[in-house]
Structure 1
Amino acid sequence: MQWGQIKTLFIFSFLVLDLFLLQQFLDKQGQTSIQTVGESQYETSLSNADITISNNVPEEAPAVRLITASAGDFTEEQLEAIRQLEGQTAKVYNKNLLTATLDKPVAVSEETIAGAVSKYVPFSSQYSFWNLNEELGRAIFFQKANSRTVYYNSGGVLIVNIENGKMTGYQLAHLKVPNQSGEDKQELINPLEVVERLYTDGVINGGDKVTDMSIGYYSAYSLDPGGGASEQLFAPVWKVTINGNEDAFYSALAAKPIYLQLDENEFIQKTINGFEEIKSGSNQNVMTNKGENTEE
């Protein structure tokens, strides 16, 4: 091939490369412009509705991956820790449901319940306090996974019994979350768009203040702590706090954003009923900290 032809080929190749890089740059600029315009529209719409956004609300969605989990048995190390518990009568049903009654009830309030739980409940550091439900006499703690709370799942919950302002016992089930790595981060819906959608759906009203937003996990299917459920997929969800005392949940996946209507009383009652079914099941293997394993 002659040098002139080679030179022409090189020039043509570099021209194609330049055009490709220019197109990539323009596409990126266009996406940024669209995102900026979208955010500006949300801000204007929310401002016109007199909805205030606190500084605690993140400007962008974090990078979060999906996780899988299943109802887990206690390890031998955890079972040994339960055997050593003092000041309470504890029982483990089928190695995956822990129930306990305190020898002496402990006075608690919403401000002190977390401290009391850390003293009497093993593995409580794996759970985060959710609410003290005075109507049902229960305090709710949800399990954490990847340092984020797994909301409203009976397979990973700590329910504390409250009677006359005193902690009398608790019931605990936990999810087994295997170590999961990789770069399969999901595209999440922008915080401002979540607020806009909640306003459109009538969950947030004009004059309200969004005081906090954070990412947790949620599965539409509660895991059975009895061990019959298969591995489940948990997706990220936005927890939106309104006026400092009301929480709303919105699926964080950009591909399928949806408002989640979660009822605390219904969840508590359903979970307690499920625990009772496990405890009353036939041929139960029951371990207690007061003696040897028994059959019920």
Structure 2
Amino acid sequence: MDWNKTKTIFIVVFSILNIFLYSLYINQRTEAQNVQVAGKTSIEDLMKQENITYNVPQVVKNDFSYISANIKTFTEEELVPLENQSIEIIDNKRIESEMSTPVSILNTKEEYYFKDFLTKYVWNGAEYEFWKVDEEARKAIFFQKVNGEPIFYSSNATLTIYWDEDYEVTHYEQRMLEEFSSEEHKKEVLSQDEAVGSLVTRGLLKLDSKVLKVTPGYSSLVQLTGKQVFGPTWNIRVELKDGTIEDHFISAIEGKVIDFKLDKLEEEELDEAEDEKE
């Protein structure tokens, strides 16, 4: 084998791959920044024409970058202090806990209040942020936080709490990530206004809608063996004319719209549960 010739071929192939990836990034970035091309005034005019209300506090993120993390491996010893529950560790990475005595998640005003439960009964419960309640299924979804921001829709960074007809928690399921690290090289990211403007120019914000809040967070890019990589992401929560709430997600670096579904997250969990049974 002619090693020099083989080495040259490898160099050429990787150079072509790098050029392709860079051009892909530029194209995605250009699409996302059509806000700037259209101009701030035209975006504002378009919002007025569609009667879209956008008046929320500005969030500036100067430390937005890719992060990586390992899947948390739970041990029985560290869970011993948790009271009033029977805990089973599945495949070393998922907790399934049954409450010995059901615990109420309502406050004196008959409103949902999860803070006490997270603090007392969930391992490192303060690391999770409330996301959504499913009234029909009697459950609440929580996302793990990193750098104070939520990790959106990662099955390995989610806590799910279930309750009965008396609003008392009967059981919960928990997964976590750990050993977070940030990429040293910071890339240029979309600002909050650019993210909202991108939704407007794409026609994703409906007539007579109202932007309720814009939240920075992270979403999954790739999963390797035991390790995951996450990219900075904007969550734009919108209220429609009929009161319906919609959540939109945009990659703060690639500028692409991300479609998350709770049912997809649940399907992943069910598939993994079936694999563990086999």
- Does the aligned pair in 2 maintain the 1:43–1:192 contact within 8 Å? no
**Residue in structure 1 matched with residue 87 of structure 2 by the alignment:** 90
1:270 Cα offset (Å) = 2.7
Separation (CA, whole Å) in 2 of partners of 1:83 and 1:141: 23
Separation (CA, whole Å) in 1 of partners of 2:61 and 2:39: 15
1:162 Cα offset (Å) = 2.3
| Range with bigger deviation, 98-107 or 108-117 | 108-117
Separation (CA, whole Å) in 1 of partners of 2:125 and 2:247: 23
- Does the aligned pair in 2 maintain the 1:99–1:171 contact within 8 Å? yes
Separation (CA, whole Å) in 2 of partners of 1:35 and 1:194: 11
CA deviation map 1:83-113 (0-9, x unaligned): 2322111122343221110011123256213
**Residue in structure 1 matched with residue 173 of structure 2 by the alignment:** 171
Structure 1 pair 42/190, CA: closer, same or farther in 2 (3 Å)?
A: farther
- Does the aligned pair in 1 maintain the 2:82–2:120 contact within 8 Å? no
SS of alignment partner, residue 270 of structure 1: helix
SS of alignment partner, residue 155 of structure 2: coil
- Over the aligned positions, Cα root-mean-square deviation in angstroms equals 2.7
- Does the aligned pair in 1 maintain the 2:221–2:231 contact within 8 Å? no
Alignment TM-score, normalising by the size of structure 1: 0.70
Amino acid at match of 1:239: N
Separation (CA, whole Å) in 1 of partners of 2:263 and 2:212: 24
**Residue in structure 1 matched with residue 227 of structure 2 by the alignment:** 231
Which of 266, 269, 274 is the equivalent residue of 1:268? Answer: 266
**Residue in structure 2 matched with residue 134 of structure 1 by the alignment:** 135
Structure 1 pair 89/271, CA: closer, same or farther in 2 (3 Å)?
A: same
1:150 Cα offset (Å) = 0.5
**Residue in structure 1 matched with residue 21 of structure 2 by the alignment:** none
Gaps of 5+ in 2: 1-34
Separation (CA, whole Å) in 2 of partners of 1:152 and 1:107: 26
**Residue in structure 2 matched with residue 257 of structure 1 by the alignment:** 255
* Count of aligned pairs: 235
Q: Give the alignment of 1:112-131 within 5 angstroms.
A: 112-131=113-132
Structure 1 pair 48/150, CA: closer, same or farther in 2 (3 Å)?
A: same
Gaps of 5+ in 1: 1-33, 282-296
1:148 Cα offset (Å) = 1.2
Separation (CA, whole Å) in 2 of partners of 1:99 and 1:250: 32
Structure 1 pair 230/98, CA: closer, same or farther in 2 (3 Å)?
A: closer
SS of alignment partner, residue 79 of structure 2: helix
Separation (CA, whole Å) in 2 of partners of 1:212 and 1:189: 16
Amino acid at match of 1:238: W
CA deviation map 1:14-69 (0-9, x unaligned): xxxxxxxxxxxxxxxxxxxx9698333322322332211123243x5544111012
Q: Give the alignment of 1:66-77 within 5 angstroms.
A: 66-74=66-74
**Residue in structure 2 matched with residue 65 of structure 1 by the alignment:** 65
CA deviation map 1:198-219 (0-9, x unaligned): 2343431122111211210001
Separation (CA, whole Å) in 2 of partners of 1:84 and 1:39: 55
**Residue in structure 1 matched with residue 45 of structure 2 by the alignment:** 44
Structure 1 pair 200/40, CA: closer, same or farther in 2 (3 Å)?
A: closer
CA deviation map 1:171-197 (0-9, x unaligned): 111112334473x22211232332233
Separation (CA, whole Å) in 2 of partners of 1:135 and 1:202: 31
Identity of aligned residues (%): 25
Separation (CA, whole Å) in 1 of partners of 2:116 and 2:187: 35
| Range with bigger deviation, 133-142 or 198-207 | 198-207
Amino acid at match of 1:186: K
SS of alignment partner, residue 225 of structure 2: coil
Amino acid at match of 2:200: Y
- Does the aligned pair in 2 maintain the 1:219–1:234 contact within 8 Å? yes
Alignment TM-score, normalising by the size of structure 2: 0.74
Separation (CA, whole Å) in 2 of partners of 1:36 and 1:259: 18
SS of alignment partner, residue 180 of structure 2: coil
1:126 Cα offset (Å) = 1.2
Separation (CA, whole Å) in 2 of partners of 1:178 and 1:63: 14
